[in-house]
Structure 1
Amino acid sequence: MILTVTPNPSLDRTYEVPSLERGGVLRATGDRVDPGGKGVNVSRAVAAAGVRTTAVLPLGGTPGTLLAELLVAQGVDVTVVSIAGETRANISLAEPDGTLTKINAAGPEVTPTEAALLLDTVRTCSGAASWIACCGSLPRGLHPEWYADLVTRAHAAGARIALDTSGPALLAALPARPDVIKPNAEELAEAVGRPLATLGDVVKAAEELRSLGAGAVLASLGADGQLLVSEEGSHYGTAPAPAVRSNVGAGDASLAGFLIAGGAGPEALASALAHGAAAVQLPGSAMPTPSDLRPDEVRITQDLPLDLPLSDPATA
């Protein structure tokens, strides 16, 4: 069982529009409503693969109720921590060329009592978990060290932790030694305080975060593929995605694929790549099923092209 923790979940509505015209009236060609948040998406992808998953979520108000109902309908077990605030609702505008414009609400403020209850609930639910995926931004009311506290408690209970967050929350959690972290290139650049222009730059940044406490670094590089740096060495992989429709949740699908395949080594990296490539070819934040995957098209190597320039260089 894979347990996910999403401190700031959302209800996500995606509109497909012919083009984005500022100040105009846009007529959607399609729309969908999905439960959202990084950990939520990981659980959705895990469930779509036929693996058991539980999502621990602080939820409030009508959006929170609908979010839980949508998750249960997708085969996700939901453990709700009730909060006084209302769960946020986000909007995404997807254009035919894959360009995505997102409007993310700030979300509710979590009280100290609610924050403590959330930690206790994770501990209670973690006994049967092979992995705990802690994902996303922290809502108002949770200090940057909250994830570090969760990692420490989970390790004390014998659980393995995958952490997907950024900024101060990521840096604060590294001394607690999460088993794997999953930054993208921009988040890596922010963490090390310098721009990343080549794959070699990404490797050095990942090694630096490992020296600060991360067990392994699974770096998402968009169209340039993914990089895994761990005690087993560095592995780089790519997977073609000829028809990009939406990249919402693609990184979360990748993390799900990585954990489903054991969370270590080139086999897990290959699963991450297959899931991510499948996800970007689906509408909104739809998660891939096994029939969507093309594992035979994934390429993995330890002969890293360190001079490879990133298609979208990351700034610090």
Structure 2
Amino acid sequence: MILTVTPNPSLDRTYEVPSLDRGEVVRATGERVDPGGKGVNVSRAVTAAGRRTVAVLPLGGPSGALVSELLDAQGIEVAPVPIAGVTRANIALAETDGVLTKINAPGPELTAAERESLLETVRGQSRGADWIACCGSLPRGLAPSWYAELVARAHAAGVRIALDTSGPALLRALRERPDVVKPNAEELAEAVGRPLATVGDAVKAAEELRELGARSVLASLGADGQLLVDDAGSWFGTARVDAVRSNVGAGDASLAGFLVAGGTGPEALAAAVAHGAAAVRLPGSVMPTPADLDPGAVTVTAQVPTDRVLKEPAT
């Protein structure tokens, strides 16, 4: 079982539009409403892969009730933490050329009691979990050290933990040696305090995160592929994608694929790449099923092309 923790979940509305013109009336050609938040997306992808998951998340107000209802309709077990605030609602505008514009609301502020209730719910639900995936931004009321405390508690309970966050929350949590961290290129550049122009730059940055405490680093490099750096070495994975429809949740699908495949080694990296590539071919934040995957389009190699210039440099 994979337990996911989403401290700042959302109700996500995605509109498909021909193009985005400021100041003009834009008519959508498609619309979706999905439960959102990075950990929620991981749970959705794990369920789509046929594995059991439980989603821990603070929920409040009508939008929180709808998030729970939508997850239940998808067969996902929810362990809600009731809060006085209202769960945020986000908007994504997906253009036909693949450009995505996201408007993310700040979310509610959690009280001290709600903060502790969230930790206790994770503790109670973690019994029997193979992995805990802690994902996304922290809402107001949770200090940057909150993820670090969660990692420490998970390890004390003997559970492996994967962390997908950024900024001070990531740097604080590294001290507790999370089993996997999953930054994208921008988050990786932010963590080491310098731009990344090549795959080699990304490898060096990942190695620095390991020196700071991460046991392994799964880095999403966008259209350039994905990188895994751990005790056994470094691997680079790519996949052929003919057309991108939406990249919403693609990184979350990748993390789910990685964990479902065991969470370690090149085979897990290949699964991560396959899930991410499948996700970008789907509308909105739809998570891929096994039928959507194309393992034959995936290449994983230990011969990391360190001199390759990134198509999307991270600044």
TM-score by length of structure 1 reads 0.99
Distance across 2 between alignment mates of 1:100 and 1:179: 31
The residue identity in structure 2 corresponding to 1:180 is V
Counterparts of 1:269-284 in structure 2 under 5 Å? Answer: 269-284=269-284
Distance across 2 between alignment mates of 1:22 and 1:159: 48
The residue identity in structure 2 corresponding to 1:134 is C
Give the match's secondary structure for 1:80. strand
The residue identity in structure 2 corresponding to 1:191 is A
Equivalent position of 1:178 in the other structure: 178
Give the match's secondary structure for 2:116. helix
Distance across 1 between alignment mates of 2:160 and 2:81: 22
Give the match's secondary structure for 2:12. strand
Equivalent position of 2:106 in the other structure: 106
Structure 1 residue 128 displacement after superposition: 1.3
Structure 1 residue 243 displacement after superposition: 1.1
Counterparts of 1:82-101 in structure 2 under 5 Å? Answer: 82-101=82-101
Counterparts of 1:234-245 in structure 2 under 5 Å? Answer: 234-245=234-245
Structure 1 residue 95 displacement after superposition: 0.4
Structure 1 residue 216 displacement after superposition: 0.2
Distance across 1 between alignment mates of 2:71 and 2:295: 27
Equivalent position of 1:190 in the other structure: 190
Equivalent position of 1:81 in the other structure: 81
Distance across 2 between alignment mates of 1:63 and 1:240: 37
- Tell me, which stretches of 5 or more residues in structure 1 are unaligned? none
CA deviation vs aligned residue, 1:35-60 (integer Å, no higher than 9, x gap): 00000000000000110000001000
Distance across 2 between alignment mates of 1:182 and 1:268: 13
CA deviation vs aligned residue, 1:110-165 (integer Å, no higher than 9, x gap): 11110000000000000111000000000000000000000000000000000000
Distance across 2 between alignment mates of 1:7 and 1:98: 28
Distance across 2 between alignment mates of 1:181 and 1:64: 27
The two structures, once aligned, show a CA RMSD in angstroms of: 0.4
Give the match's secondary structure for 2:134. strand
TM-score by length of structure 2 reads 1.00
The residue identity in structure 2 corresponding to 1:228 is L
Distance across 2 between alignment mates of 1:16 and 1:6: 26
Equivalent position of 1:63 in the other structure: 63
Matched, 1:49 2:49: yes
Equivalent position of 1:289 in the other structure: 289
Runs of 4+ more than 3 Å apart: none
The residue identity in structure 2 corresponding to 1:284 is G
CA deviation vs aligned residue, 1:216-251 (integer Å, no higher than 9, x gap): 000000110000000010000101111100000000
Equivalent position of 2:125 in the other structure: 125
Q: How many residues align?
A: 315
Equivalent position of 2:145 in the other structure: 145
Identity %: 76
- Tell me, which stretches of 5 or more residues in structure 2 are unaligned? none
CA deviation vs aligned residue, 1:281-307 (integer Å, no higher than 9, x gap): 000000000000001111010111110
Distance across 1 between alignment mates of 2:72 and 2:240: 32
The residue identity in structure 2 corresponding to 1:242 is D
Equivalent position of 2:221 in the other structure: 221
Distance across 2 between alignment mates of 1:232 and 1:112: 41
CA deviation vs aligned residue, 1:56-92 (integer Å, no higher than 9, x gap): 0100000000001101111210000000000000000
